[in-house]
Structure 1
Amino acid sequence: MNVKQRVEKLREQIRYHNYRYYVLDSPEIPDAEYDRLLRELQQLETEHPELITPDSPTQRVGAQPLEGFGEVRHEVPMLSLDNAFSDEELAEFDRRVRERLEIDTVEYAAEPKLDGLAISLLYEDGMLVRGATRGDGSTGEDVTQNVRTIESIPLRLMGKDYPKRLEVRGEVVMPLEGFHQLNKRQQAEGHKPFVNPRNAAAGSLRQLDPRVTAQRPLEMYCYGIGLVENGKLPDRHSAILARLRDWGLRVYKGVTTVRGLDGCIQYYKKMEKRRDSLPFDIDGVVFKVDSIDEQQRLGFVARAPRWAIARKFPAQEELTRVLDIDVQVGRTGAITPVARLEPVFVGGVTVTNATLHNEDEIRRKDVHIGDWVIVRRAGDVIPEVVSVVKDRRPKNARPFVMPTKCPVCGSDIERVEGEAIARCTGGLYCEAQRKEAIKHFASRRAMDIEGLGDKLVEQLVDEKLVNDVADLYSLDVDTLAGLERMGKKSADNLIKALQDSKHTTLERFLFALGIREVGEVTARALASAFGASDTKLSDKKRTRADLERLAKATQEQLEAIPDIGPVVAGHIVKFFQQTHNRDVIDKLLDAGITWPPQEVAAAQPLQGNTYVLTGTLATLTRNDAKARLQALGAKVAGSVSAKTSAVIAGEKAGSKLAKAEKLGVPVLSEDDLIQLLEQGEQGA
């Protein structure tokens, strides 16, 4: 056997023993023998560096520290789960699923809800090429170098029948024993100990130096998949997890299937009893409809699937006293009442503050300043006041009064009828919202100021060089070049980008202002309604005229614009009523921001029509059909009403089809849909 053959043989043996150890939990050799195999491979690769490959078991550690994490756009969004905190809420979930599927009993995959950090692994031709955090579900951080250091994550999949591209989702956790040992080391070295295993796992995976991550006791368990290209997977979630295990990926061995609500409740009670004996933290269990076909029929709502739910364990609770209640202003202007508490130890941490969510919640719970209250760490993350111990209320307890002015900037606090959250209306001016307002203003779909990244925005605001978005245009090369990690070339490029951004469009400018609920579509509608088409006016006069018309628009005038309802119209009116916001806009126009005359948009062929999709389409995905309909001006709704233009019914259409027939709403086949789309796209 030559050296190359011996290297390949060693790699194959090590991968196999990793599989036995991490996936099957049934090692065949002692640790000492495993270490000898690994040392022999390391020695041969040192002597023959040309034989080293990226997926070799020796290549887990040693990458140089990073300057920062890159962004990863998830090709399939990483959705969150809805929660159930009682058997009644779980029963309601099961009822909704059964009614939508029109079946009596549902088979669910059941697994513990690990309390760690969600992670995405991308394998191409069986080789690990990328690891990313969940982030906001659409965009995460590239932590490839760090996930490569986790022994339970294979650098190469086993077998040969895996898809050409496969994205695996899972949870990175820190076992309790490893967590306690890590904290002992932290304290011995004079460092602050970690609060809990979840924070320790998240902090370890997000280290800029992968060598630090490699020293932390991290493990990963897979719970699902995302992207799949050029490959076929089983038609049940439980079978997919078994297939992942065959390919060398770790899956919790307690994953099983249960039938109906009773099976879910029994599994929940079993895991609740086992919770304290498990080697890692869990905060509940997850139930997923096992059939992939049924999952697709159920679909998604907002940012969560209709076919899965997390049944959470009861959070730990303690008794303490409310010393005061004040409000915090969030990055989007949300006003959140916060209870200042006598310090109390709950769920592994000392809690001094707890959210009261909103004014209605305070009234519902009848929380007074001075009350004795029960505090819970909801989801083991955010402390909240659960209830008041009324019989211990002191005589001097007093009710909370929501302020009418923002405590940060003095702008009006607005609460829209029917909404629970109150908000500061000084979006362009409020210090609490400043950083987010600037980041949004500079973003690619807004003013597209290249080079003005999040870190630089935070630095500019922290050093008080920028107090609002208009101050960006007062920056100079010398000031920028003097900042950390900024040289003259970077400063020159940013100043040029700022100058280039002054030549924009009205719809981009309106979107960049960050008016609540004014997205790109609404901004386009506003630009069409208020943009001047008189080319005789100078650019400067035309831009001011456009903004003056919009600023003076009444609620009724705004509601007359297609797709703008009373709520959004109210947000627009309130925004322009604030003197602070108008002052910032004046500064922006003084800085030289202009746009060309607004072109009148041509009517779209399906504008004013509303369609509902139901069942499975053979030649299009539901998302593709929805996107093409919307591109032609149609609305795509989730429920059928008398105002629905037509229901498009695919295979296995359910209750929506029945409702359409009952209401006399036209029903189109998939062939009808294709014809409708082709005619519209040819005429558009």
Structure 2
Amino acid sequence: MSENIQQKIEQLRKELNQHNENYYLMDEPSISDLEFDLLLKELQDLEAKHPEFHDDNSPTVRVGGGVTKIFPTVQHQFRMYSLDNSYDYDDLADWEKRIIKTIDEPVEFVAELKYDGASISILYENGKLVQAVTRGDGFQGDEITSNVKTISDIPVKLTGDFPERFFMRGEIYLTRKNFDKINKQREEEGLDLFMNPRNTASGSLKMQDSGEVRKRRLSSVLYQFVSQEVPAESHWELLHQAHDWGFTISEQAKLCKNLDEIKEFINFWDTERHNLPFEIDGIVLKVNSLKQQRQLGYTAKSPRWAMAYKFKAEKVETELEKVTYQVGRTGAITPVANLKPVLLAGTTVKRASLHNEDIIKKLGLHEHDFVYVEKGGEIIPKIVGVNEEKRTSDSKEIEYIKNCPECGTELIKLEDQAIHFCPNDLHCPPQVVGRMIHYVSRKALNIDNLGSETIEQLYKERLIENPADFYALTKEQILPLDRMAEKSAQNIIDGIEKSKEIPFEKVLFGIGIKHVGETVAKKLVKNFNTIEDLKKATAEELCQVEDIGMKIAVSIVDFFNNPENILMLERLKSYGVQLEKGENTNEVLSNALEGKTFLFTGKLSLFTRESAEEMVEKHGGKNISAVSKNLNYLVVGEKAGSKLKKAQDIGTITILDEQEFLDLIG
């Protein structure tokens, strides 16, 4: 019986591993998500009932779901150096001359694509993935093993004849296809779009829930073997050995005998990179011989035996057809250049961001100008110049609009800001829809199944105009909407009902008071127990709350002076939405920090700034926003700058690292 169970477990693992490979590596799923989940559930149940057959490398490990609140900082056994950059062939020729001068013998090079992602160092012991650490500052990084194990093309168990202990280094990245999928989902949820695949991959690796990391479908390429003892004489040999052990290596890497072959490789990929399913920003060149690498050694920051050739940002010329204006959720007006379609960096560009009136004036834009457009890793390209020689004598300078393009209201521009605003926040259609999309978003009321398209339809049908209207919706009203089924409609109703349990601070953030973000909402709730208390507060009283200045205070007072907002809040309250503080909001765990003030600066690695400030408050301390004689403790992370220097100059402030802060609270 026991043997049969073990065989069943091993069979399920083998089958699931194959399906993972089909899905993630081949992009050709052979079964549905439901069928996959059922197989996975069967394996999870068997493993739970029979722990004697536990295996750290089971496909169930790939599922994630574990939550890591602190990523420990780990010292790299072998420093992760950065590469020197070159931008033209003269730089490469000089580099080659320095190499030949040092070693005085023939040199071969390996040319590899420079993947645009996040660097990782992975430790393997006895063929098993033991630890994964981010590059960090090159000397130390964050340990993110559980997140990396969810990436299906990184092996957790090796095959073949591999060394006992070594590190594999590589890049974790997002394919263009998966990046687009993530942004499409975020758009449906009313969230801001991610700007580029590189930053999204890097941010994904720091997500606390490894189950969410898995959903991002990250990819990897491993490009460097690192160990005291190396089982080969060249980098090229090591790459192919690593492939035999189960690592994904670059299929495009090439062994080059001289600079001419390197140039040929670079020229080819400078054009063909746009046909790749992932982003690259250059080519990495390495001396192939490991003996020669050791002879060449390192500078203070880079290996002398490697060089990165960076592609120049592409720029094209096209005609400006017209400038249109978009209205955002907060009423901010964004001008957009509509262009004659032109091919740039592998995609057809039709629009470019102009940001604000100041940019238009700086460029001196005229109607039907021929403009230079550049794309440097952003979703929307930008105009970087104008070809004035092609401008006609009767061309008129572009004048910024005076009225809102959506509702006709006269625009306003604050003295301290470069952006124009439409003040008709309660009735300007994009603002109304944007505010409701914000209300249902994950960080606010988190109402599932209510995407931006559904909200737009509800608004067009005049079923909703402010957040309180969600709670009056019926399933019968929702069902006639496009692509709406019975179950979907019921899920929306259930999600709206569940949102009544969301705490006051998230509701306050969700109702969309201008300048009241997540942090400000939390601080308001700590000082005002109910929405009624907040409504009665004067601007001067609001300014007594930490980090709230007159600008935010006036915005809050203005919000409560509007009768339409008051009516909306009364309706929300009548529907049971939480508009007062819960019992455990200000739960205090100890008085270890009582009477002490704290400020956090630099890049924190053991906790987020938000969680650190929460720890201070839960142990009786107080957070302040600036370095002054009133500050007791400054907690510093990496690359702490002016605040650290100012604290040192004052001389009476105790400076702590992150671990010393944790020691204070036990």
- Normalised to the residue count of structure 2, the TM-score between the two structures is 0.54
* 1:55 is aligned to 2:17: yes
The letter for the 1-side match of 2:314 is: Q
* 1:358 is aligned to 2:345: no
Q: Report the secondary structure of 2:552's partner residue.
A: helix
Change (3 A) 1:501 1:409: farther
Tell me if structure 2 keeps the 8 A contact 1:126–1:162. no
The letter for the 2-side match of 1:512 is: G
For residues 41-95 of structure 1, give each alpha carbon's deviation from its aligned partner in whole angstroms, at most 9, with x where no partner exists: xxxx9xx988953224897255444599999989689xxxxxx9998xxxxxxxx
Residue in structure 2 matched with residue 667 of structure 1 by the alignment: 654
- Aligned residue runs from structure 1 range 365-404, under 5 A: 365-379=363-377, 381-403=379-401
Tell me if structure 2 keeps the 8 A contact 1:447–1:512. yes
For residues 593-619 of structure 1, give each alpha carbon's deviation from its aligned partner in whole angstroms, at most 9, with x where no partner exists: 5745888969985677233568999xx
The letter for the 1-side match of 2:270 is: D
Q: Report the secondary structure of 1:368's partner residue.
A: coil
Cα distance between partner residues in 1 of 2:400 and 2:21: 57
Match for residue 322 of structure 1 among 317, 320, 323: 320
Change (3 A) 1:588 1:668: closer
Q: Report the secondary structure of 2:381's partner residue.
A: strand
Pairwise CA distance, 1:404: 5.0
Change (3 A) 1:277 1:447: closer
Change (3 A) 1:403 1:161: farther
* 1:526 is aligned to 2:519: no
Cα distance between partner residues in 2 of 1:610 and 1:270: 57
Residue in structure 1 matched with residue 664 of structure 2 by the alignment: 676
How many residues are matched?
A: 494
Cα distance between partner residues in 1 of 2:542 and 2:357: 29
Residue in structure 1 matched with residue 288 of structure 2 by the alignment: none
Residue in structure 2 matched with residue 645 of structure 1 by the alignment: 632
- Aligned residue runs from structure 1 range 48-87, under 5 A: 53-56=15-18, 60=22, 61-65=28-32
Tell me if structure 2 keeps the 8 A contact 1:447–1:504. yes
Q: Name the % identity.
A: 29
Change (3 A) 1:625 1:320: closer
* 1:628 is aligned to 2:615: yes
Tell me if structure 2 keeps the 8 A contact 1:504–1:595. no
Q: Report the secondary structure of 2:509's partner residue.
A: helix
Tell me if structure 2 keeps the 8 A contact 1:317–1:375. yes
* 1:559 is aligned to 2:561: no
Tell me if structure 2 keeps the 8 A contact 1:531–1:597. yes
- Aligned residue runs from structure 1 range 301-340, under 5 A: 313-331=311-329, 333-340=331-338
Pairwise CA distance, 1:387: 1.2
Q: Report the secondary structure of 1:364's partner residue.
A: helix
The letter for the 2-side match of 1:667 is: T
Tell me if structure 2 keeps the 8 A contact 1:428–1:437. no
Cα distance between partner residues in 2 of 1:507 and 1:616: 25
- Aligned residue runs from structure 1 range 257-656, under 5 A: 273=267, 275-276=269-270, 281=276, 283-285=280-282, 313-331=311-329, 333-379=331-377, 381-403=379-401, 405-410=403-408, 413=411, 415=413, 417-424=415-422, 429-443=427-441, 446-447=444-445, 449=447, 452=450, 456-457=454-455, 460-461=458-459, 465-482=463-480, 491=489, 494-495=492-493, 498=496, 501=499, 506-527=504-525, 531=529, 545-546=532-533, 548-549=535-536, 553-554=538-539, 556-569=540-553, 571-572=555-556, 575=559, 584-585=568-569, 588=572, 595-596=579-580, 605=593, 609-612=597-600, 628-629=615-616, 631-632=618-619, 633-635=621-623, 644-648=631-635
Cα distance between partner residues in 2 of 1:502 and 1:367: 50
Change (3 A) 1:351 1:483: closer
Tell me if structure 1 keeps the 8 A contact 2:535–2:560. no
Cα distance between partner residues in 2 of 1:479 and 1:53: 45
- Normalised to the residue count of structure 1, the TM-score between the two structures is 0.53
The letter for the 2-side match of 1:676 is: L
Which runs of 5 or more structure 2 residues have no equivalent in the other structure?
23-27, 38-62, 70-83, 88-110, 130-146, 186-197, 211-222, 228-237, 255-261, 285-300, 302-307
Q: Report the secondary structure of 2:371's partner residue.
A: strand
Tell me if structure 1 keeps the 8 A contact 2:365–2:397. yes
Change (3 A) 1:487 1:426: same
- Aligned residue runs from structure 1 range 167-178, under 5 A: 170-171=172-173
The letter for the 1-side match of 2:173 is: E
Change (3 A) 1:463 1:72: farther
Tell me if structure 2 keeps the 8 A contact 1:157–1:247. yes
Change (3 A) 1:316 1:161: same
Cα distance between partner residues in 2 of 1:583 and 1:417: 32
Q: Report the secondary structure of 2:355's partner residue.
A: coil
Pairwise CA distance, 1:476: 1.5
Q: Report the secondary structure of 1:321's partner residue.
A: strand
Tell me if structure 1 keeps the 8 A contact 2:266–2:283. no
Tell me if structure 1 keeps the 8 A contact 2:119–2:169. no
Pairwise CA distance, 1:564: 0.8
Tell me if structure 1 keeps the 8 A contact 2:270–2:311. no
- Aligned residue runs from structure 1 range 185-200, under 5 A: 198=176
Pairwise CA distance, 1:255: 9.5
Pairwise CA distance, 1:356: 1.0
Pairwise CA distance, 1:327: 0.8
Provide the alpha-carbon RMSD of the alignment. 6.3
